[in-house]
Structure 1
Amino acid sequence: MEEYEGRLNPIAEYFNEQVIIDPTIYPTLRSSFRKDFCKWAEANGFDNMKSIGATRFWDLFKKVLKDNGITDLEEVKIDGNYHVKGIGIRP
């Protein structure tokens, strides 16, 4: 079922493969998730998703987070840029 959902929503598949949940991780630059997703989408054959806009991506990404039980996402502004606490991107 998870694989099926991933094919319907590539952002859910990206989340399962690339996102780390760790409350101790240093805040991750919010735009890094979209940038990494676009690279991942291209490498995984989701060519129609690699040019998704930042606002649309973040809306869909937050929905995936919520679907995975992450409802208390904390965003902080560091040096003028938004960062997200508690989640990161796998190296």
Structure 2
Amino acid sequence: MRKFKYEDHLETLGLCECLIPLIQFEVQQGNKISGYDTQAKWPKEGSHLIYLKQSLHLKNLNFPQHPNVRADVNRDMHFNWHTDAYCTLHHHLIIG
């Protein structure tokens, strides 16, 4: 059985339009999606979570910006990811 590649199905994941350019950019940079949850209860009920294999490329000059998206380095040692991008309008979250 062939392994499912989320990168080949970006348009069907249901990710909000604010984060679509960001996830497309990350895939173009070689980042891979290791998991996707459309029924997350965190950070808000109904949030979508995308798990990337690598950190977001925040320092890249071409990193996509959107007024609804807050992209940061995560310095909380309780979480096991280094960077995240959160849509403050739709409450979808990409972590890497």
TM-score of the alignment, normalized to the shorter chain, above 0.5: no
Q: Which has the higher contact order (CA 8 A, sep 6+)?
A: 1
- TM-score, structure 1 length as denominator? 0.31
- TM-score, structure 2 length as denominator? 0.29
Structure with greater proportional helix content: 1
Structure with greater proportional strand content: 2
